[in-house]
Amino acid sequence: MFSTILKIHSISVIIFFLIYFIKTLLLLSNANDKLEKFKSYTKILEMIVSVSFLLTGIYLITQIPEIKAMLIIKLILVFASIPLAVIAYKKRHKILALVSFMLIVTAYGLAEMSRTQKVSEEVADGKTLYETSCAMCHGADGKLGIAGASDLSITQLQQGEVVNIILNGKGGMQKVQMTEIQANAVAEYVLKNIKK
Ligand code: HEC
């Protein structure tokens, strides 16, 4: 459910953004006839897209556990740009159109930034990394022992030593391809959750 709504939201945002972009270009290049034509062609599409963009956006906000500052700034930018855009296109005011377009671009950029930030947090998630890179030999509980893999539930090593083994290998264990941040996240997970 959440991911479907998120998809609809993203698609609506992209279409909304494209219409907005073309309208701004036409206005700035004094192509008034084309602008009027484009506006009448896209009127219904724009209405549908704006409604779905807002409704899905509201739904997504209610699903987010904590509202971050970034999200509030994004919302303010989006809501400030809409009335500006309406006035700008009505009065054919280029500067206003440009300002409102820049506000939307900034909001879009912020949304992208917070998404990338989320992805990098996920990448350094020790549990997931352990499951994908270590569990096939060591097992989810550390005791599997495939190919002579040590029992991690009884390891006596410190976090730094575990990181070192992950990044450089040890005896029968080859080094595992990951960044130091990721290795630290896995090592922490091993010592906190696998070690008894
Ligand atoms: C291909 C199988 C394999 C994979 C994948 C693997 N290991 Fe190992 N691991 C081993 C083997 C084999 C040893 C025993 C090495 C030796 O002492 O010769 C070992 C030993 C270790 C040790 C030393 C334990 C001790 O107490 O001495 C740690 C810690 C460890 N692995 C952690 C990890 C972590 C964390 C991952 C995932 C990032 C991982 N391993 C992935 C096979 C594997």
Domain span at 163: 126-194
Same domain, 21 and 38: yes
Task: Give the CATH number, domain containing residue 36.
Answer: 1.20.58
> Given a cut of 70, is residue 74 above it in pLDDT?
yes
Q: How far is the CA of 173 from the centre of ligand 1 (A)?
A: 5
For 190, half-sphere exposure in the C-beta direction (CA atoms, 13 angstrom radius) is: 32
- Residue 65 has a pLDDT of 63
Query: Is the shortest distance between the CB of 166 and ligand 1 below 6 Å?
Result: yes
Average pLDDT value for the chain: 86
For 5, half-sphere exposure in the C-beta direction (CA atoms, 13 angstrom radius) is: 13
Same domain, 142 and 93: no
Q: How far is the CA of 142 from the centre of ligand 1 (A)?
A: 10
Q: How far is the CA of 175 from the centre of ligand 1 (A)?
A: 9
- Residue 165 has a pLDDT of 97
Q: How far is the CA of 117 from the centre of ligand 1 (A)?
A: 30
* Angle separating helix axes 94-123 and 2-28, nearest 10 degrees: 150
The answer to pTM > 0.85 is no
- Residue 193 has a pLDDT of 94
Torsion of CA 173, 178, 180, 182, to 10 degrees: -110
Closest ligand 1 atom to Cα of 133: 37
Mean pLDDT for the stretch of residues 68-79: 80
Q: Rounded CA gap, 53 and 58, in Å?
A: 9
- Residue where the block lists tokens 């090593």: 157
Mean pLDDT for the stretch of residues 142-167: 95
Query: Is the shortest distance between the CB of 150 and ligand 1 below 6 Å?
Result: yes
Choice among 28-32, 128-132, 140-144 with the minimum mean pLDDT: 28-32
Same domain, 58 and 83: yes
Domain boundary among 107, 123, 139: 123
Query: Is the shortest distance between the CB of 157 and ligand 1 below 6 Å?
Result: yes
Domain boundary among 89, 123, 157: 123
- Residue 133 has a pLDDT of 94
Better pLDDT: 77 or 145 = 145
Same domain, 43 and 100: yes
Same domain, 40 and 85: yes
Task: Give the CATH number, domain containing residue 150.
Answer: 1.10.760.10
Same domain, 113 and 135: no
Same domain, 111 and 164: no
Q: Is 10 exposed, middle or buried (0-12, 13-18, 19+ CB in 10 A)?
A: middle
Same domain, 116 and 158: no
Same domain, 95 and 145: no
Domain count, the chain: 2
Q: How far is the CA of 24 from the centre of ligand 1 (A)?
A: 58
Query: Is the shortest distance between the CB of 185 and ligand 1 below 6 Å?
Result: no
Same domain, 55 and 97: yes
Both tokens of residue 8?
């609809």
Mean pLDDT for the stretch of residues 151-172: 95
CB burial string 137-148: b at 16+ within 10 A, e below? bbbeebebeeee
% pLDDT > 90, the chain: 35
Per-residue pLDDT tens digits for 79-138 = 888 888 888 888 888 888 888 888 888 887 777 776 666 656 656 789 999 999 999 999
- Residue 118 has a pLDDT of 61
**Residues near 100 by beta carbon (within 8 Å), at least 6 away in sequence:** 80, 81, 82, 84, 85, 88
Closest CA to 24 of 92, 72, 119, 75: 92
Would you call 31 helix, strand, or coil by DSSP?
Answer: coil
Query: Is the shortest distance between the CB of 133 and ligand 1 below 6 Å?
Result: yes
- Residue where the block lists tokens 């956006």: 57
Same domain, 71 and 49: yes
Better pLDDT: 141 or 65 = 141
Same domain, 41 and 59: yes
Kindly report the protein residue whose alpha carbon is nearest to atom 39 of ligand 1.
134
Domain boundary among 123, 152, 173: 123
Query: Is the shortest distance between the CB of 177 and ligand 1 below 6 Å?
Result: no
